[in-house]
Amino acid sequence: MAIEMAIYKHQIREGLQQEKQDLSIIIDSMGCGVIVTDINSCIEIINPVAEALTGWQRKEAIGKNLLEVFQLKDTDTGEVIDNLAARAIRTGEVLNLPENCKLIAKDGSETSIGDTVAPLRDEDGKILGAVLVFQDISQRKQTEAELIRNAFYDSITGLPNRILFRDRLAQAFEHSKRRKNYRFSVLFLDLDGFKGINDKFGHGMGDKLLVDISQLLKSSLRGGDTVARFGGDEFAILLEDIKDVTDATNVALRIQNNLETPFDINEHKILVTASIGIALSSVSHQQPADLLDDADSAMYQAKEQGKAQYVVFERE
């Protein structure tokens, strides 16, 4: 009887060993990182993808506490995220990796990752440890960032586009409702004769000129102000939290003074002027677009009055 029991136990051990080997083969063949821990959050299994992402070789990682090998940082706060395996074991719940988290590798490099952490149970439902399944989502994050950039920023100048500008204008409009003494202004700027420059020198040089003008406009503003390209040769500027219209006219004068220096592009000296319309926030504006319309109207008045100047919108 004792011999039969010994043989039976040996068969069980052999079966378990085979199951473990089969499991390792499956885990190693997966295209995502996998780490399995015991009940104390010590690593039992780590597959090749996880080795590559963490920078830890299997022989180094086995037996170590998860936090030594698998460190996550919240990119929003900069803080290290706690032991997710321990939390999954404690709560018995499947957890998603936090948004905007990065894996800190052994060499200090960081990789954006995503996926899940789950408790590992036996046939009776008893929790034995945890399994982490994760993957590099850097490319996805980069694609998302590019989509956002393309949606809200001008592809030539890198400035905010009209969509983002209108959003910031709407925020300023709402802010003015909450603070009675909060004033802001919109400047609408159109480059004089830009079409002629494009026709003479070509669109490639025209684009370079737009980039240089964008830098000039940015350097003419405070850090919290917004300059956007609306398309073609049109730009809009949002000046927030100003005292009165003088703050806006001073910016317009600064821009026009800065434009007096010719741009040097491909060994050509190109002089550019601009017509600028200014509109100051007022209780008479029912919606943000009204302010933009007023600035646009004032800009056309500047054009009609001889260009290379600014006009402050005045309601008749």
Active site residue 199: no
CA distance 287 to 236: 17
CA distance 197 to 242: 35
Per DSSP, the three-state class of 254 is helix
CA distance 270 to 130: 66
CA dihedral 252, 257, 262, 264 (to 10 degrees): -70
Q: How many residues does the chain have?
A: 316
- State CA 294 to chain mean position distance: 33
Q: Within 13 A of 251's CA, how many CA atoms are on the CB side?
A: 32
The answer to whether 90 and 129 have CB atoms below 8 angstroms apart is no
Structure tokens, 17:
């060993």
Q: Considering the candidates 154, 192, 225, 233, report the single residue annotated as catalytic.
A: 233
Report the catalytic residues.
233
